[in-house]
Structure formats: C-alpha cells, structure tokens
A and B are shown apart, each in its own frame.
Chain A
Amino acid sequence: MAETRFIKAVNQALSDAMEADATVFLIGEDIGAAGGSFKATRNLLERFGPDRVRDTPISEAAITGMAVGAALTGMRPVVEIMFMDFTTLSMDMLVNQAAKARSMFGGQGSVPMVLRTPHGGGLNAGPQHSQCLEAWFAHVPGLKVVCPSNPADAYGLLRAAIDDPDPVIVVENKALYAMKGDLPEVPEDRERIEIGKGRIVRPGRDATVVAYGAAVAMAESAAATLAQEGIEVEVIDLRSIQPWDEALVLESLSRTHNLVIAHEAVEAFGVGAEIAARMADIGFDELDGPILRVGAPFAPSPFGKTLEDAYRPDAERIVAALRRTLA
C-alpha cells in the first residue's frame, strides 16, 4: 500500500483506465499542459498525448454534448467540468440528451460517458464556485451519480464509472483533494467499487448516520464524540447517490432504529430528503425517533469566512441531530 492523496488517486484512475482501454479519452478546460484546475490530469498529456487529453475552449455545453456524441460513436469520454457550478451550462446535454438517449431510442445503445466535477465549499470560493448540486442529477432518470469520501473510493468509483455503459456524474469534494489514504501500488490490486453499493465505515447499535463525500468524515467524528458517552453510532458511507443502497440503509435502521442523514448540500429538497422519505415509508416500523437531516441552510454558499464556516455542516451539527433523534 502506498499513501496517496485523493487528487492523485483520481489521476491514477484516469491513467489506469486510459492504459486499459484505447477508447477512453479526457476532454475539458485546461486539463492538458496545465494538468487541470485541481491537477487531476497532471502529466497525462505527456503520457497519452493531445489526442486523448483534449484541452478545450471554454464551452461547457459543447464539450458535454461532444462527449454524448463521441460516446454514441464508440468512444468512452471522460469530461472534466472545472467546478460543479459550471454544469449549469451543460444541463441540456446531460438532462435532455445523455440521460435520455438509451430510453428514448428504445435501448438501441447507451451513452458510456463520465463527467467529473468538484463540489463543495471551504475555499471561500463564493456562491458560484462552491455549490453541491448532486441532487439535481440524482433526480434525472438515466443518470448515475457517485461521490467518493476518500482516495481509495475516488479511484474505485471513477474506474467503475468509466466502465459503466451509462452516463455517470462523479462528484468530488474539493476540500478532500489533499486528503491522504491508502491505494495499492500494484495496478492489479487497485479495485473498482460497485456503483449502487454503500459501506458501513463504523458499526454501531444506537443510531445510523448516512453520509457521502466530505460529510462522511464529519459523521465519523460525530460518532467518536458520542462514543465517549457510550452512544454507539453506525456510519454509512453512501458512496453512490443514484442508485443508492436502500437495502443497506434499511438493514442498518432495523438494528439502530434512529436515522440521521448528513450532506454538505443544501438540506431542503436534497438527497437527504429522498432517503428520509423512503425510510419513513419502508422503514416506518423500525423508527424510534424522527429522521433528521443535516445540510446547509437554504441560502447561496457565502463568500466571507465567518459566513462560510457557519454555512457548512460539521460534526457538531451531526451530534446535535443525533441527540435530538435519540432524545
């Protein structure tokens, strides 16, 4: 095992996928010589050449749509959109084209494309460079959405997304890019992670916290805090948002009987709302307390440090939610 940063794991996944399959190519703004805004594609231009590491003009709609067309013509494009906020410019191509092609063409083919994009705050990047918009995409039939919480998952989910025959949005929390974790040194040992499966990262008997991306570490920290009082919290890393591991969450709830869902995205109408609604339905008889959500308040992501700090969810808020549901 080698200690690897999250961003390097992304880079390794792209590199291994390109090595394994000649139809895989990268397309995005400043991904070539510059190596990408967050350096996810560092050195890949030198290694694979400008044909497969395509630096594009600032044309998000066109490059996303081009990925759809290239995918329908036998290629496996991986698009980088520099900030998730900019996917607003790609929406027609993702929502009306990529998501629907297979279904509306009667299953004739599929759109094996990946769109990688960073979300999340903590960089004082302000309202147009910090948003977590994954719920939008999870709401669109035909798209898949994953969000890794650590370097090994960043590798494994991205490899699985590139292999997947359908369009997958890979959301990377930019605050995690510097995070270190283990990744096997031998390429054959680096594993893909099945899309749609979550993982119990900390077992517990008293309550379940479901989280994804950067919120997983917050949930683990909250669990550690409550463990000092003898409260054992189970933490589930969702890994995949669409499809999500409903069975795993229900199984956990059936043991702990209390549920909190945490994410950095705005709480209202978010991923947590969907999970809460499903569990209130199929898990109704298991519940000993209200299902609570922890997310950002209903406001644009603010710029100033004090404001942003207050805006982003943290372990304390998850602890407070757990205490409330357990009360």
Chain B
Amino acid sequence: MKLEELARLYRQMLVIRRAEERLQKLFADGLVPGFLHLSIGQEAVPVGVSQTLTDRDTVSSNHRGHGHTLAKGVDLNGFFAEILGKATGLCKGRGGSMHVADLGKGMLGANGIVGAGLPITTGSALAHRMQGQGHVAVVYFGDGALAEGVLHECLNIAALWNLPILFVCENNGWSEFSPTERQLATSLDKLARAFGIKYTAVDGNVVADVATASARLVKAMRKTPAPAVLECSTTRVRGHFEGDRQDYRDPAEITALSERDPIRQCAAAMVHAGATPEMLDEIANAVEAEIEAAAQAALDAPLPRSEDILADVYTSVKV
C-alpha cells in the first residue's frame, strides 16, 4: 500500500484511539453519563472496512461502536456531544454511547442489544437490493453475538435471498466477561460454510489487510448481490466497559496485546514505506488538536431541556 493511503488510514485510526482515550479520561472524571464500552485495539477493522463505503451504504453497530461510527465519517463534534449527553449531540443527547446514529451518513445506529444490528442490517441490505442502486449494508458484531439466535436467522435469509450484506465479525476472544471458547461450540467459518456464504478471515489489526479484503468483497457484492462474512481477529485492550477491572483476564495476556496494536503496526508500515518521524508527529498533533476541540465543545455545550422529554417519540405528535 502506498504511503499516502497508509497515512490516511493511520490518521483515521488515530482519531478513534485519541477520541476514546479522551472519553476514558472524561469518564474517569465523572463527565460521561452511563456506560462506556471502548474499542481501543480494534480500530483497524472499521477504518479498513469503511474505505470502500459511501454515505449511501449503510452500517449498523453494537455497544462497542465508537470506531464504527467515526470511521463512517460522522461529525466529531456531534459524536462527542452525544456521548456527553448534550443537546448538540448527533441524537440530541437522547442516545448516548450505545445509540449513536447518523442516518444521513448511513450509520443506522450503535445498539445496546447484542446481535440486534444483524436483522436491521439484513433488512437494510434487502432495501438496497430492491432499490437496485448497488449500495451495500455492513453489520459489525462481536464473537459474543455468534451465540445469538438472530445471527442464524440472518445468515440463512441473506444467503437465500442473495442480499448485499457484509457480516463483519470483530473477534476479540471475549464475550463480555467470558472467553468465547467457553461460549460457542462452533466457529464462524463453519457457520458461514453451512449457509453457503463466502467466508474470509483477516488479521483485524492490520488495517491494510482489512481494507484490501473488504474492498474486494464489497466490490463483488455491488456487482452481483450476495452476502459475505469477514472475520477479523482483533484485540480488546480495555474491559467490557469502563470500570471493569478485568480480574478474569491474565494480566500477561493484556500486556502482550500491545505487540499487535493496529496503530503501532500501521506506523511501522508507514516508516517502511518512507514516512519520517516528523510526518507521524504532524499527524498526531493535528489529531490531538481536533479531538481536544471536539471534547471542549462538548463540555461547553448545553444539556437537553427537560421540557423536550416528549419530543420525537412520534413523528406526528407536536410538542
């Protein structure tokens, strides 16, 4: 991959990383209401996949969805404000971290229910297929969702109806607080094969590999609608949510994860392709400033007004 392209991917991953690190700090300071599930260590998956998507392509996400959302190109200020529960948030402060959505960008929402994005995205793929414009739908889910019944329903229907949907599994080995090996009697490659769906596995921490594989799969399904499964092996560095002390994990396992860090690996690839330390610093500084501005704007933004509590429950009801 060319340096210029690597630099673009690197920058996007760094935006997600720094945004989540900033949120982690804000959470520790008591400034983020509710729950916060961080995707630190998993940034290469959404960044790699999103390179091939337009605003008309739809994605849906899960509880660990910050990376999916930012990679789809949503506004950083609206994102931060939403997670801080502010009126200027993408969802006016009504969704929060687990429900960030930007329908204009084709981002159909993060989701608080494990596996729930699967049927929604399958339906979006059906709409794309019926509308015949060559758009595709992408669903991000974790290995924990492999045990949910709707996955099997959706793989079956997507295969039966040749729907243009990319099933992107971020396999970090953890189903919330439990190792997936104790949760699942099969594996995604076997499931995909059982339904006759094309299956591809990549190292989900090598952004160029994710980008190349997804570009190939999406290009094919734009031409001839059909589902595909992309399983990305990746690393969850933080706990299931912030505040989770991860007592159930071997500390050595967590330490070893830095070897596979997607941002570090991308930086090494950039240096190999001729990047200078100054170039990396320049990107880092620009990202840092961008994140700080968005975080500050969110901190300064007003809270939603309590009199708006009934707004938008229904389209037709005026309040």
CB distance from A98 to the nearest CB of B (A): 9
**Chain B residues whose C-beta falls within 8 Å of the C-beta of A78 in the assembled complex:** none
Q: Is there an interface contact between A74 and B95, defined as CB atoms closer than 8 Å?
A: no
B-contacting 9-mer, from A54-62, A224-232, A297-305: A54-62
B-contacting 9-mer, from A4-12, A35-43, A63-71, A145-153: A63-71
**Chain A residues whose C-beta falls within 8 Å of the C-beta of B123 in the assembled complex:** 65-73, 77
Q: How many pairs of A and B residues are in contact by the CB < 8 Å rule?
A: 148
A61 to B104, CA, bound (A): 26
Q: Is there an interface contact between B122 and A69, defined as CB atoms closer than 8 Å?
A: yes
Flag whether A144 is at the interface (Cβ < 8 A).
yes
Q: Is there an interface contact between A102 and B120, defined as CB atoms closer than 8 Å?
A: no
CB distance from B136 to the nearest CB of A (A): 11
Flag whether B77 is at the interface (Cβ < 8 A).
no
Flag whether B150 is at the interface (Cβ < 8 A).
yes
Flag whether A212 is at the interface (Cβ < 8 A).
no
CB distance from A169 to the nearest CB of B (A): 14
Flag whether B99 is at the interface (Cβ < 8 A).
yes
Number of interface residues of A (CB under 8 A): 42
Flag whether A141 is at the interface (Cβ < 8 A).
yes
Number of interface residues of B (CB under 8 A): 47
**Chain B residues whose C-beta falls within 8 Å of the C-beta of A57 in the assembled complex:** 153, 156-157, 160
**Chain A residues whose C-beta falls within 8 Å of the C-beta of B89 in the assembled complex:** 106
Flag whether B179 is at the interface (Cβ < 8 A).
no
A-contacting 9-mer, from B169-177, B233-241, B306-314: B306-314
Given contacts A75-B127, A105-B91, contact A68 B119 (CB under 8 A): yes
**Chain B residues whose C-beta falls within 8 Å of the C-beta of A68 in the assembled complex:** 119-120, 123
CB under 8 Å from chain B, chain A span 45-104: 51-52, 56-57, 59, 61-75, 77, 92-93, 96-97, 101-104
A107 to B93, CA, bound (A): 11
Q: Could you name 27 residue pairs across A and B whose Cβ atoms are closer than 8 Å?
A: A64-B119, A65-B118, A65-B123, A65-B150, A66-B120, A66-B157, A68-B119, A68-B120, A69-B122, A70-B126, A70-B130, A71-B123, A72-B108, A73-B108, A73-B124, A73-B131, A75-B126, A92-B113, A96-B116, A97-B116, A105-B90, A105-B99, A106-B93, A106-B95, A107-B311, A108-B90, A108-B91
Residues of B within 8 A of A (CB): 58, 60, 89-95, 99, 101-104, 108-109, 111-113, 116, 118-128, 130-131, 137, 149-150, 153-154, 156-157, 160, 311-316
Residues of A within 8 A of B (CB): 25, 51-52, 56-57, 59, 61-75, 77, 92-93, 96-97, 101-110, 141-142, 144, 164-166
